[in-house]
Amino acid sequence: MILAHNLGFPRMGDKRELKWALENYWKGQLSQEELIKVGQDLQNLHWQRQKNAGLDLIPVGDFSWYDHVLDMSVLLGVIPPRFGHPGGGVDLDTYFRMARGRSVHGTEAAACEMTKWFNTNYHYIVPEFQDHQDFSISSNMLFEKVVAAQKLDVPVKPVILGPLSFLWLGKAKGEDFDKFSLLDKLLPVYGQVLERLKSQGVEWVQIDEPILVLDLPNDWKTGFEKAYAQLANSGLKILLATYFGALGDNTQLACRLPTEGLHIDLTSAPAQITKVLDELPAYKVLSVGIVDGRNIWRNDLEANLKTLEYIKERLGDRLWVAPSCSLLHSPADLGLEFKLDGELKSWLAFATQKTKEVATLKRALTEGKQTVAHDLQASTAAQQSRRQSTRTHQAKVRERVAGVNDKLTQRQSSYADRAKAQKEALNLPPYPTTTIGSFPQTANIRKARQEFKKNIISEAEYDMHMKEEIKKAIVEQEKYGLDVLVHGEAERNDMVEYFGEQLDGFAFTQYGWVQSYGSRCVKPPIIYGDIARPNPMTVDWIKYAQSLTSKWVKGMLTGPVTILQWSFVRDDQPRADTCLQIALAIRDEVVDLEKAGIKVIQIDEPAFREGLPLRKADWNEYLDWAVRCFQISAAGVEDSTQIHTHMCYSEFNDIIASIAAMDADVITIETSRSDGELLQAFATFNYPNEVGPGVYDIHSPNVPTSEQIVSLMRKAARYVPSERLWVNPDCGLKTRGWEEVEAALCTMVEAAKTLRT
């Protein structure tokens, strides 16, 4: 039978109810009972909604109090010893302690590490494996959810993360050992989990193995065969779910594993269907992920149907229809958006709408198109309006993009010549000191912004407030003795939203939240149309800051790749094309800043690395256009104008050539936590330009000592010649308090003075 199903629903609730409940619970303002009720109500609502949409199988276990990988860790009993868990069932507080730090005795215990879930902006809690790690079922959460769903007559399909992906995403701690060696011990416990589900009357279970879209070592591939041969005995029907990319060289492996079904992502990798159809055994169900689970565009149902009809011809009833991946990565419900205009709204679909799209497609396949004629027409009309709208296509932008050539990517002279010109123009001391851009976003600043938004204060009043903040930042920096100052970014709520709001082609939602980690959500802007910059965006603020001081003030911009990466991006043209449009807009801003007398300009690219494709073979294509876009944004200025960029992470080894190709005069990076080690990459590659290794860990309330900073910088000088070194924090100071900032920056300046002598 052709079925419609879903891989996962967003957890937070339409208005982030889970977020508020969690945070109140952590503050002690909500009892555990009340928290659990909020969670249960949300799950019920989401199940009901998916059922009403017409789904035949509904995920259970996709809901999580914090993170679904953490759920697996507690289900399987993977609790790091520092949390003091006495063994047995893991309670909710232990679960939260793992995510947020603190042991059962109330003492500090480092929180488990958190890292990005594949190429999404969701962060999961990294499982930690000890050398002699044992596994045992240590939580009933999953089984209780199954009971709750069954009570409501929900057609239950439990979702768990598969054993190979679970191990892959974890980390071996302590003794150096290969985490893969734990597979043998892990499998029996997975077997027990399936047995329990079976005894609960479950028919289908979804086992996610997203690592099947990655480049896998051979032993891991063999591990898949072994694992699923063993799990095949459970008596449950297993739907093996893959997403975020093509199975590629793992196609045969995935198709031949002894599971009753396979889910593939046809949104991110439409071309893989041919190969999968050729390899799929005749007994197996293919779940086709055709509604994009990671974006917000309404599907072109007629086009989808063409694809599905073709697959149906090959598979008949063995076809299921689904979103490409869990809807965790899309906002909950478009119905709540009252500020978007009707036209734009008609182009969009959030999670709730996407489940309906899936059900509509299934109905068209099983009962005929005429039964859903209305939905199909509405979908087609939306596609048409989007294609023809003048809002998506601006002739001027198109013309300009067509005229882009290599010349636009190059500065006038090589770095060596520019460095000379900049030295003369800027007259900075050796080991110049600077910061990354933001200063503390105080309660005062947030209050002014709120009041401005609510029309309590006028724009002029708001601007006055912001100018006062900028003045304060300048006065403080002069007091500390920094060499290159910043304006402090008080006027920016968010480094992407701030620019998006001033660019054509961007839209903003009221409730378009997506979980980032735990209770934290982000609300990415929507890039729906051609991007143009009608007016300068930052020039007045920076000019004002510069007017207050005789030191150089650094202009502060967000780079094109980061703006792209942290938005929902239009899907009617390649991402590279959209990025190029942003790059041209930023280029204009850079040139305008220069014209206004600003001689140092920073173009932040903290999201540059996260755009890397999952497969190494695809890296170059991405890096080529990403580097080119950055270059285009930066290259419009004179030699004597100094371009900085900033990236706040510490993995550069594998992309250092591209970082160098960006050709920023100065790059500031996060290093304080890696003890300067990562500079090795810069040394080995012989990185040619200037580097500012972060010497102040802004994620910690600790203030470094001058000795620590001097020692870090001396270490850095072993890798990068001291004439090319800057002294700066790891990242922006937005989340810190003024007191710590003052102490840390004064120490930094003192350390720079020591270094100079």
Shortest reach from residue 510's CB to ligand GLN, in Å: 24
For residues 348 and 647, which CB has a smaller minimum distance to ligand GLN in the complex?
647
E strands, 548-663, are 552-558, 568-569, 600-604, 642-647
Using CA atoms, how far apart are residues 567 and 523, in angstroms rounded to an integer?
8
Confirm or reject binding of residue 731 to Zn ion (CB under 5 A).
yes
Q: For residue 492, how many other CB atoms are within 10 A of its CB?
A: 25
How far apart (Å, rounded) are the C-alpha atoms in residues 590 and 644? Answer: 11
Residue 306, C-beta contacts closer than 8 angstroms, at least 6 positions apart: none
Of 12 and 667, the one with the shorter C-beta distance to ligand GLN is 667
731 binds ligand GLN (CB under 6 A): yes
CA angle (398 as vertex; 396, 402 as ends), nearest 5: 120
Residue 469 within binding range of ligand GLN, rule CB under 6 A: no
Instruction: Give the nearer residue to Zn ion in terms of CB position, either 248 or 606.
Output: 606
Is 489 annotated for ligand binding?
yes
Residues 641-700 that bind ligand GLN (CB under 6 A): 646, 648
19 annotated ligand-binding residue: yes
**Options 125-133, 317-325, 718-726, 731-739: segment touching ligand GLN (CB under 6 A):** 731-739
Q: Give the total of residues touching ligand GLN (CB under 6 A).
A: 13
Would you list the DSSP string of 190-251?
HHHHHHHHHHTT--EEEEE-GGGGS---HHHHHHHHHHHHHHGGGSSEEEEE--SS--GGGH
CA angle 193, 195, 200 (to 5 degrees): 100
Task: Report the C-alpha gap between 418 and 724 in whole angstroms.
Answer: 13
Question: Which of 736, 123, 136 has its CA nearest to residue 437?
Answer: 736
Using the minimum distance from each CB to ligand GLN, give the nearer residue, 59 or 559: 559
Contact 162, 259 (CB under 8 A): no
Is residue 495 a contact point for ligand GLN (CB under 6 A)? yes
The CA-CA-CA angle for residues 478, 482, 484, to 5°, reads 100
Does 692 participate in binding Zn ion (rule CB under 5 A)?
no
453 is in an annotated binding site: no
Cα 61 to the chain's mean position, in Å? 22
> Residue 339: which of 526, 69, 593 has the closest Cα?
526
| Interface with ligand GLN (CB under 6 A), residue from 436, 678, 691, 716 | 436
- Closest approach of ligand GLN to the CB of residue 491, in Å: 12
Shortest Cβ 729–ligand GLN spacing (Å): 9
Number of H helices, E strands in the chain: 27, 23
Which of 304, 422, 438, 567 is close enough to bind ligand GLN by CB under 6 A? 438
> Would you say 361 or 744 has its CB closer to ligand GLN?
744
Q: What one-character DSSP code corresponds to residue 488?
A: B
State the minimum distance, in angstroms, from the CB of residue 497 to ligand GLN. Answer: 13
> Does the annotation flag 438 for ligand binding?
yes
Q: Which among Zn ion, ligand GLN, none contacts residue 160 (Cβ within 5 to 8 A by kind)? A: none
| Phi and psi at residue 533, to the nearest 5° | -110, 100
Q: Which is nearer to ligand GLN, 487 or 533 (CB)?
A: 487
Apex 615 CA angle, 610 and 620, nearest 5: 75
Residue with tokens 């249960």: 40
Chain residue at closest Cβ approach to ligand GLN: 732
Q: Which residues are catalytic?
A: 699
How far is the C-alpha of 657 from the C-alpha of 679, rounded, in Å?
A: 14
Token code pair at residue 442: 């105080």
Binding of ligand GLN at residue 732 (CB under 6 A)? yes
x-marked contacts with ligand GLN along 604-623 as a string, rule CB under 6 A:
x-x-----------------
646 is in an annotated binding site: yes
Minimum distance from residue 653 beta carbon to ligand GLN (Å): 20
Q: Which two tokens stand for residue 74?
A: 């507690």
Near Zn ion by CB under 5 A, which window of 314-322, 501-509, 683-691, 726-734? 726-734
DSSP 135-152: ------HHHHHHHHHHHT
Span near ligand GLN by CB under 6 A; candidates 189-197, 335-343, 587-595, 727-735: 727-735
Q: Is 136 annotated as a binding residue?
A: no
Residue 440 in contact with ligand GLN, rule: CB under 6 A: no
From 315, 648, 703, 745, residue interacting with Zn ion (rule: CB under 5 A): 648
112 is in an annotated binding site: no
Residue 571 CB, shortest distance to Zn ion, in Å, is 28
Helix (H) or strand (E) holding 171: strand 171-172
CA distance 161 to 182: 16
Query: Which residues between 228 and 267 bind ligand GLN (CB under 6 A)?
Result: none
CB nearer to ligand GLN: give 70 or 486.
486
Q: Does 606 bind Zn ion (CB under 5 A)?
A: yes
Annotated binding site for L-homocysteine: 436-438, 489, 604
Residues binding ligand GLN (CB under 6 A): 436-438, 489, 495, 556, 604, 606, 646, 648, 731-732, 734
Residues binding Zn ion (CB under 5 A): 606, 648, 731
